[in-house]
Amino acid sequence: MAACYFRRSIASQLSRILDLPPESLIKSISAVPVSKNRQVADFQLFVDSVTGNRSSGHSKADLQLQAQKLAEKLNCDTIVSEISIGSGTVNFKINRELLAKTVLQHVFNDGSEYGIRSELFSALPKRKIVVEFSSPNIAKKFHIGHLRSTIIGNFIANLKEALGHQVTRINYLGDWGMQFGLLGAGFQQFGSEEKLKSTALQHLFEVYVQVNKAAQDENVKKMAQDFFKKLEAREAQVLSLWQRFRNFSIEEYVHIYKRLGVHFDEYSGESFYHEKSQEVLKMLDKKGLLQKTGEGTGIVDLSEKRDLSSCSVVARSDGTSLYITRDLAAAIDRMNTYNFDTMIYVTDKSQSSHFQKLFQILKLMDYEWAERCQHVPFGLVQGMKTRSGEVVFLEDVLDEARTRMLQNMASAKTTKELENPLETAEMVGLAALIIQDFKGHLLSDYQFSWDRVLQSRGDTGVFLQYTHARLHSLEQMCGNGQLANFNAACLQDPQALSILQHLLRYDEVLYKSSEDLQPKHIVSYLLTLSHLAGAAHETLHVKGSAPEIAQARLCLFQAARLVLANGMKLLGITPVLKM
């Protein structure tokens, strides 16, 4: 990684003056973000990060003085061509030709590992990581609410995998519980074998709506309870019907996951832990953690003073398991199976309290690894409707994004002749949905707007795809850049330098996202990269320029496209080559 080479060089000079090991200085030297008023510096060191004054409330004047004293002791060399001071910072400008040569060389040599093959990650041990995400309820069509969990979980798994960790992707299906008593009873009354075979989830959804209307009827209630009891007792006929609901559901989900470009290593579900949850209740009892209320409900006291001011219900009065009990059994089973270092659950923020309780109970059960379980919560999407009105199902949204994208592409003057316009529209539409979702902090709710999502200019997924396709077509037209014979002196225009400076920062951005698991850092970086590449494309012409200049510019644009593609793939987007 180019930035590492420069950071190391700056750190080794600083280490001699500050009498600190160079390794401890690396993370304090950061690439300067590109801004409109074109900074001359490429790297900066915040003085308070190395002089131990962070919390001692030093005044700006003090910091400025320290920066000045430090800068006076430093010398320019073959790598650093200029040293200056900013507000509490020492700034370093890299030799311009060396900057161009080193950055492009590293982008081409490291390929898909550019930014990852960095010393920012080298000290991180390789871990076993389990990510549980998506997790829809079977026998229901894939709800739009599950889109966020699916794409966020996919991003986290992609990022962790790219960083060399061993990742297991688990889809923990909601495939057990009282609602299946209701659905089973409903199917026996209103179900059709024929419809189940042709449009399984749509039909089961209709049955569920019908039976729900009658759910207050004592007869229907009793049928539902009887069906679920038989299911818990593993009665063959009832179990076989439930198994078919489950298989049909997974079949339809796999089709949707394929459209989203998402895969899982394991399709698990609450049903797997129905029996194991009884073992958990016995363990809780044995440890003296299980208490009974007057009504016979099983609870665990979570309060500090042991006064039941905070508790969690873990069993119904009839002894049947609850969602949290099955989650406890699943967590213990996964530890036994995968021996994970970290387990990440991706669900909406309404489940935060559930996971707090889950991790607390595991700690009370003396599982020290409970500390390594993490909940990544996200906010809600508001106002997502298709043309036909209120939207419920994800497939409708994917179809709508594809249709609208096709129309936009058909009316755009720049659209190329495409072999498969439908496939391109699908990939661009999905990019649009993902970028809209990932732009802000995951915990925030956001207002969905089709017009904003599908704009081809501005900060959208469509714009990223358009930039990638445009840069790819430049390569097709002018041939691929050949590193061996490009002259770095030809890349000294402000627009070229801005792209080079921006490429320097990629590893820091990846590091930030790997720390807080927020995709917004990568999204913001890629949008800036696309704006910079777009502006440069307008002024730094390849066609019609002298061969040496054309060759150097082509290398620059190719490097920008490669990093853009790498980042898009981490986010779960397939870059298109034409649009």
Q: Which two three-digit tokens encode residue 555? A: 């290398």
For the chain, domains (ranges, CATH) are: 2-94 (3.30.1360.70), 128-284+323-382 (3.40.50.620), 394-571 (1.10.730.10)
Whether 143 sits among the annotated catalytic residues: the reply is yes
Query: What's the pLDDT at 449?
Result: 81
Whether 521 sits among the annotated catalytic residues: the reply is no
Cα gap 34→493, rounded to integer Å: 14
CB atoms within 10 A of CB 161: 15
Residue of 101, 146, 468, 537 with catalytic role: 146
Residue of 101, 140, 165, 274 with catalytic role: 140
Residues 355, 361, 364, 369: is their CA dihedral positive or negative?
Answer: negative
Contacts of 347 (CB under 8 A, 6+ apart): 135, 149, 355, 375, 377, 378
pTM, rounded to two decimals: 0.93
Cα gap 89→66, rounded to integer Å: 9
Q: Are 572 and 435 in contact (CB under 8 A)?
A: no
Query: What's the pLDDT at 311?
Result: 92
Residue of 126, 143, 213, 286 with catalytic role: 143
Tell me the pLDDT of the chain (579 aa) as tens digits: 778 899 999 999 999 999 999 988 998 999 999 987 666 799 999 998 887 654 455 678 888 899 999 999 999 999 999 999 988 899 999 999 999 999 999 999 999 999 999 989 988 899 999 999 999 988 877 877 789 999 999 999 999 999 999 999 999 999 988 888 999 999 998 999 999 888 888 899 889 888 888 878 888 888 988 998 899 888 999 999 999 999 998 998 999 999 999 999 999 999 999 889 999 999 999 999 999 998 999 999 999 888 888 999 999 887 777 899 999 999 999 999 999 999 999 999 999 999 999 999 999 999 999 999 999 999 988 877 666 656 567 888 888 889 988 888 888 766 667 888 899 999 999 999 999 999 999 999 988 888 888 887 889 999 999 999 999 999 988 876 555 578 999 999 999 999 999 999 999 999 999 999 999 999 999 999 999 999 999 999 999 999 999 999 999 999 999 999 999 999 999 999 998
Whether 140 sits among the annotated catalytic residues: the reply is yes
The residue to which tokens 């009873």 are assigned: 185
Cα gap 218→161, rounded to integer Å: 52
Query: What's the pLDDT at 467?
Result: 96
CB atoms within 10 A of CB 313: 15
Q: Are 77 and 94 in contact (CB under 8 A)?
A: no
Query: What's the pLDDT at 229?
Result: 87
Question: Which residues face 50 on adjacent strands?
Answer: none
